[in-house]
Amino acid sequence: MKIKDIYKLYANHFLVDTDTRKIRKNTIFFALKGDNFNGNKFAEKALELGAIYAIVDEIAYCTHPHIILVDNVLETLQKLANYHRNILKTTIIGLTGSNGKTTTKELINAVLSKKHKTTATVGNLNNHIGVPLTLLSMTPETEIGIVEMGANHQKEIAFLCSLCEPDFGYITNFGKAHLEGFGGIEGVIQGKSELYTYLENNNKTAFINPEDPIQVEKTKRINNKPFCASLKFIEVNPFVKLSFNTNIIQSNLIGKYNYTNIAIACTIGNHFKVSDSDVKSTIEEYVPNNNRSQIIKKKSNRIILDAYNANPSSMKAALENFESINAEFKTVILGDMFELGETSIEEHKAVINLVKKLGFNTTYFVGENFYQTKTKHHLFRTYEDLLMHLKNNPLKHQSILIKGSRGMRLERLLDIII
């Protein structure tokens, strides 16, 4: 069946699903395959649960008139998403970068939704499957789509741009993330800048941070829009405070690194005619969650939980911000950073050296990578080792920074820190 024919079926309800545990009535089920699962096996189950059609790529599972056989389910999903994007002609803002993508996406979406009907990437569904699902979640009522794009290798951003065809783009920053896949920091810059290449080749527009020399240099030949000239950073104590036109905005976001995330939301809101008062109220109402720079107050301790992910750039920013916070006793709990390749031990040693330089009261390092540095600080090979230590030596009356890569799942410590 051709894409245009599948699209006619999809356009009846604008619903697609890939997981039978979350099937919605009248959806089209796409039977994706992975290393450890085969969605084709669940095609009939999807119909029983309410799907109106199922798309498979193995003829053995084409056992019902409403099960459609294609050559490749994933490619069909991607082609359908791009077809839909071009039918809708919705304004698309593409977003990528090493750090801060999700927070920035949420801020932009919150601001723009004050005036426009928006659809944004849910959670971190930002890869070759998540981007098509984001596009297919848009309806004819969607005026602006905010599409987060993640990558850990060259050519991935270019491919995602070919699917969502952004009208505008923004790169949060170029940091030491996914160094193993990108092949070093220069590879990160090249890979993320594939968004700029798309915008340039298609005469589209980039929003940029004028204080980032890489962004300024890479967008010289592109129509670009720097942060609003009226934006000005005021302070972090511990939350970011800034001025925007005639407004003072007091956010609930910690760390000066979040200033640029707020600034781009203000800039894009301004560009799309959201009122200054709505921009101000939206930023001030936004409270981070999902283990991203959350401030959690316990009976005895105050915790800054930043355990969603970590890389050398975000570690440095978080530690320097934590050092600047006014608190009598400070404890740092850091977990391994992943996907650093041959530079892993070097980068973990650099974090340890930075911690020593900043001089916190107590520091804990956990994970195989930190363990291999053989530092003399509190060093734990496994999470269970750290957990046992903290149970026997409970933290009291501390300000605590918890940060590590997603795989470390350091948010589990919340259960024992009181």
H or E segment to which residue 75 belongs: helix 73-88
CATH code of the domain covering residue 261:
3.40.1190.10
Q: Are residues 151 and 228 in the same domain?
A: yes
Of 2-11, 190-199, 375-384, least confident by mean pLDDT is 375-384
pLDDT at 288: 85
Copy the structure tokens of residue 194.
Answer: 């594939």
The pTM assigned to this predicted structure is 0.88
Tell me, yes or no, whether 167 and 49 share the same domain.
Answer: no
Beta bridge partners of 226: 208
Asked if the structure places residue 404 within a domain, the reply is yes
Q: Which CATH number characterizes residue 57's domain? A: 3.40.1390.10
Question: What average pLDDT score do residues 59-66 get?
Answer: 96
Q: Do 54 and 114 fall within a single domain?
A: no
pLDDT per residue as tens digits for the range 244-290: 998 999 999 988 889 999 999 999 999 999 999 999 999 999 998 77
76 is a domain residue: no
- Binned at pLDDT 50, 70 and 90, residue 370 comes out as very high
Does residue 96 share a domain with residue 29?
no
**Backbone phi and psi for residue 336, each to the nearest 5 degrees, phi listed first:** -50, 150
Q: For residue range 10-36, what is the model confidence (pLDDT) as tens digits? A: 999 999 999 999 999 999 999 999 888
Q: What is the mean pLDDT of the chain?
A: 94
What's the Cα-to-Cα distance from 259 to each of 96, 266, 322, 415, rounded to whole Å? Answer: 17, 10, 15, 31
What's the pLDDT score for residue 123?
Answer: 80
SS3 382: coil
**77 within a domain of the structure (yes/no):** no
CB of 268 closer than 8 Å to CB of 111: yes
Q: Is the pLDDT of residue 151 over 90?
A: no
Would you say 92 and 165 are in contact if contact means Cβ atoms under 8 Å apart? yes
Task: Over range 382-400, report the average pLDDT.
Answer: 95
Return the CA Rg of the chain: 23
Neighbours of 88 (CB within 10 A): 18
Confidence of residue 238 (pLDDT cuts 50, 70, 90): confident
Residue 122 backbone dihedrals phi, psi, to 5 degrees: -90, 130
pLDDT of residue 289: 79
**Confidence check: pLDDT of 177 > 80:** no
Asked if residue 48 belongs to a domain, the reply is yes
DSSP string, 292-334: SSEEEE-SS-EEEEE-S---HHHHHHHHHHHHHS--SSEEEEE
338 Cβ contact list (under 8 Å, min separation 6)? 369, 405, 407
Lowest mean pLDDT among 15-24, 39-48, 290-299: 290-299
* Residues 6+ positions from 328 with CB-CB distance below 8 Å: 399
Per the structure, the complete domain to which residue 319 belongs is given by: 294-415
Q: Are residues 137 and 259 in the same domain?
A: yes
Output the domain CATH number for residue 308: 3.90.190.20
Q: Which of 10-24, 107-121, 305-319 has the lowest mean pLDDT?
A: 305-319
Convert the pLDDT of each residue in 320-330 to its tens digit.
989 988 888 99
In three-state form (DSSP H/G/I as H, E/B as E, the rest C), the secondary structure along 163-208 is HHCCCEEEECCCCCCCHHHHCCHHHHHHHHCHHHHHHHHCCCEEEE
Mean pLDDT of 198-215: 96
51 and 179 share a domain?
no
| Final residue belonging to a domain, choices 21, 38, 71 | 71
Phi, psi (deg, nearest 5) at residue 325 = -75, 140
Report whether pLDDT(227) > 90.
yes
